[in-house]
């Protein structure tokens, strides 16, 4: 198999699967190209309330970019096209308007770690291994990727991860904030799906507004879009879902949100 990125929709949850098991789900050119299309489809579907991404099987989330392609596509002018390709993929994941969960089994290395960093929540099995081994390959690493790492783990931990290029186990990753939870391997899938369903049951407009505003908090005051923040809040109060949420609370029943 050459590798593919697939999607599925079940009961309000969208799934993105990185499927390249022969190479521990390493991401090749075709897979980088497929990511923005898959993300766009799930983000546009009003029935999808939350998205979970994972690797095929339980050996790896993503073991990195497919290094077997580097001698052809990451040298000279071809390297610029390659960087543009994976930048589009990272931007698509980072800008999805719905909550995004990374479900991590096994290897989460290099480009795989960068993909996981685009998620809002990261849940890892106790066998998960994290690393960014750019220093062992001699490749340049852009400010966008480093900023994402610093934003999640802070500057001191980001320096340790990047400068040492060593592998960190799941508990080390949790202690530095790289993952939210570490679960026994047998329990991870059920926990991630249960959490995704809890999120999917909440008001979509509230989730979208909160995700947008939380993303704005990492920007300098002059870069923040205050008008868009205010509009996202106004849309919540003007929605049918707000009326439904209040009514359901007073009637002591679960709310039935429609995303409008």
Does this model's pTM top 0.85? My answer is: yes
Pair 7, 46: CB distance under 8 Å: no
Can you give the pLDDT at residue 76?
66
| Model pLDDT for residues 74-132, shown as the tens digit of each residue | 666 667 777 788 899 999 999 999 999 999 999 999 999 999 999 999 999 999 999 99
Give the residue-averaged pLDDT of 154-181: 96
Who wins on pLDDT, 218 or 63? 63
Q: Which stretches of 125-239 are DSSP H helices?
A: 134-137, 143-153, 155-164, 170-175, 185-200, 204-216, 226-237
**Of 185 and 224, the one with more pLDDT:** 185
Decide if pLDDT at 167 tops 80: yes
Q: Residue range 171-199: average pLDDT?
A: 97
Backbone angles phi, psi at 128, to 5 degrees: -65, 145
In angstroms, how far is CA 96 from the centroid of its own chain? 9
% of residues, the chain, pLDDT over 70? 95
- Angle of helix 240-250 relative to helix 204-216, nearest 10 degrees? 110
Average pLDDT, the chain: 92
As a residue count, the chain comes to 260
Backbone φ and ψ for 238, nearest 5 degrees, come out as -85, 0
Average of per-residue pLDDT across 156-180: 96
**pLDDT score recorded for residue 222:** 86
All residues at 6 or more sequence positions from 130 whose CB lies less than 8 Å from its CB, including other chains: 108, 109, 113, 116, 161, 167, 168, 169, 170, 172, 173, 178, 179
**Statement: residue 70 has pLDDT above 70:** no
Indicate the pairing of strand 107-109 with strand 100-104: unpaired
CB under 8 Å, gap of 24 or more: what pairs does 142-151 form? 142/83, 142/87, 144/87, 144/90, 145/90, 145/114, 145/117, 148/94, 148/114, 148/117, 148/118, 149/117, 151/218
- Measure the CA–CA gap between 143 and 44, rounded to whole angstroms: 29
Mean pLDDT over residues 161-166, rounded?
Answer: 94
pLDDT of residue 231 exceeding 80, the answer is: yes
pLDDT in tens, 210-226: 999 999 987 888 889 99
**pLDDT on residue 74:** 63
Q: Which residues contact 163 (CB under 8 A, 6 or more apart)?
A: 135
If you average pLDDT over residues 55-63, what whole number do you get?
Answer: 96
């Amino acid at each position: 198999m050459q590798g593919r990125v697939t999607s599925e929709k079940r009961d309000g949850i969208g799934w993105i699967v990185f499927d390249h098991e022969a190479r521990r789900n390493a991401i090749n050119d075709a897979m980088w190209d497929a990511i923005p299309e898959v993300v766009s489809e799930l983000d546009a579907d009003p029935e999808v309330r939350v998205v979970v991404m994972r690797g095929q099987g339980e050996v790896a989330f993503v073991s990195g970019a497919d290094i077997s392609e580097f001698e052809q596509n990451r040298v000279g002018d071809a390297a610029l096209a390659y960087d543009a390709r994976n930048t589009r993929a990272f931007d698509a994941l980072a800008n999805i308007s719905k909550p995004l969960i990374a479900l991590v089994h096994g290897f989460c290395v290099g480009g795989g770690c960068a993909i996981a960093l685009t998620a809002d929540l990261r849940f890892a099995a106790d066998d998960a291994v994290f690393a960014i081994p750019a220093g062992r390959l001699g490749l340049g690493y852009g400010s966008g990727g480093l900023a994402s790492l610093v934003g999640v783990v802070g500057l001191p931990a980001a320096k340790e991860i990047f400068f040492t290029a060593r592998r960190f186990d799941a508990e080390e990753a949790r202690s530095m904030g790289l993952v939210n939870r570490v679960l026994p391997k047998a329990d991870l899938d059920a926990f991630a799906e249960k959490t995704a369903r809890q999120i999917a049951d909440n008001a979509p407009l509230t989730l979208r507004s909160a995700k947008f505003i939380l993303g704005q908090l990492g920007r300098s005051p002059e870069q923040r879009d205050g008008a868009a923040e205010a509009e996202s809040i106004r849309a919540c109060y003007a929605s049918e879902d707000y009326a439904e949420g209040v009514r359901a609370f007073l009637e002591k029943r679960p709310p039935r949100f429609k995303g409008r």
